[in-house]
Amino acid sequence: MFFLLIFLIGGHLGAQLDSSQKQNQVTSRFIPEKDFSDLLRGSGKKDKHKNIHPNDTVENNSKKLFSFIPAAGYSLQTGFAGILSANLAYFTDTAANQKLSSISTSITYTEYDQILIPLTINIWSKNNRYNFISDNRYIDYPSNIYGLGGRTDPNKGHQIAFYGIKLHETVLKSVAKNFFVGAGVYFDRYWGITVVDSVTRRLNRIINRQLGNNETASSIVLKALYDNRLNQINAKNGWYINTVYRDSRTFLGSDNDWKSLLIDVRRYLPFPVHSKNTLSLWSFNWLTLGGTPPYLLMPSTGWDDQYNTGRGYIQGRFRGNNMFYFETEYRFNISRNGFLGGVVFGNMQYFTPEISEQFQVLSPGCGGGLRLKLNKHSGTNLCIDYGFGKDGSRGFFVNLGEVF
């Protein structure tokens, strides 16, 4: 989604910098980093907070960072949109390795009468012993569907409307350095599913019969996480490996029994070494192990938890029993003060409704974008990207925080 930033209210948080930032080359002339709040104050006014030098080590403290961002935007899926977004970030301990906790919410209303209200919570206890993760969302969401597999026709999509609620709760416990295991419960429900295209009655009946009017999934989840990134908002080096096994059962309230496995692997490398540029790699594999998930919960482009896979394509463009996805992104500074940066990216995805010739259909995407520094202490960027896909697919894609 392409956002036009209107206003920013922010406190400041002394967020730790990762080792690649601590080891940056010493420059002969100190250039302090700048962010959006510096721009609002004006270049002639002195920042009462400490400037960030490329070689500084900023220690954690008990201060909290609050950001409130009204914005307007546009995307392939939503058309023009108005957004009110709020975020709170803080550390629960002053230890050097303490991970950053955050609470985020927003309200979005779009040109196509869509409403999205997420509430995401990621809390790390003292010494990172426990991680409490809560992902809750309400959506009133006309959306496009194109069928299953990688050979679907972009000109034969149909728009459906539905309401949805998502309640995903997980608790993880530390079992080794940067390694966590735990369990949780996932509940997803979609209702009021209707076809809103002006299609024939016969086609309308066929689509409604395939989808049904309601879909419910209630699941037990087992999760394992390895994360040695120091800054989860804008990682400069390290690994993130997340595996989620989901078992949905009728006795828990699901429409039918099915199982899935999510494997999310990310790697961050300073490139060149000792520079502030980052090469980021992302492998996202979403597999159905047994049974048939509800249609709207099947692996699909842009339906990961952050809606970020598949830049270059509209959300929901591809869908199938199994999704295999890989993306690489190179992040670099444009301005020496760090306020303006850029990225180039490329991705590849393929889907299959079953092991067949459709497994071999690759759907590439690529593009580039800008990064505007919203907060130099936490590393939060406004990400504005333009992506291209096959069959003429293209559009803007925007995030508050990095795509991955």
The CATH number assigned to the domain holding 345 equals: 2.40.160.50
Sign of the CA dihedral with 342 first, then 398, 280, and 325 last: negative
Three-state SS for 113? coil
CA–CA separation, 30 and 52 (whole Å): 10
% of the chain surpassing 70 pLDDT: 80
**What is the pLDDT averaged over residues 318-347?**
94
Phi-psi domain of 150 (left: phi exceeds 0; alpha: psi -120 through 50; beta: other) = alpha
Closest to 152 measured CA to CA, from 350, 312, 322: 350
Q: Which of 52-61, 151-160, 336-345, 350-359 has the lowest mean pLDDT?
A: 52-61
CB–CB of 163/191 below 8 Å?
A: yes
Q: Give dist(CA 126, CA 301) in Å, integer.
A: 36
pLDDT value, residue 18: 40
Supply 362's token pair: 């690759």
Report the distance separating Cα 106 and Cα 382, nearest Å: 15
Average pLDDT over residues 193-222: 78
**0.95 surpassed by pTM:** no
pLDDT digits over 223-266, tens only? 999 999 878 888 999 999 999 999 999 999 999 999 999 999 99
> Both ends of the chain: CA-CA distance in Å?
16
Single out the residue of 72, 104, 73 nearest to residue 86, CA to CA: 104
- Indicate whether 272 pLDDT > 80: yes
Tell me what pLDDT residue 67 has.
72
Q: Which residues are within 8 A (CB) of 404 and not within 5 positions of it... i.e. 6 or more apart?
A: 266, 280, 282, 306, 308, 327, 329
Which tens digits make up the pLDDT trace of 83-109? 888 888 888 888 877 888 889 888 989
Enumerate the β-bridge partners of residue 306: none
Number of domains in the chain: 1
Domain extent for 54: 2-400
Q: How confident is the model at residue 11 (pLDDT cuts 50, 70, 90)?
A: very low
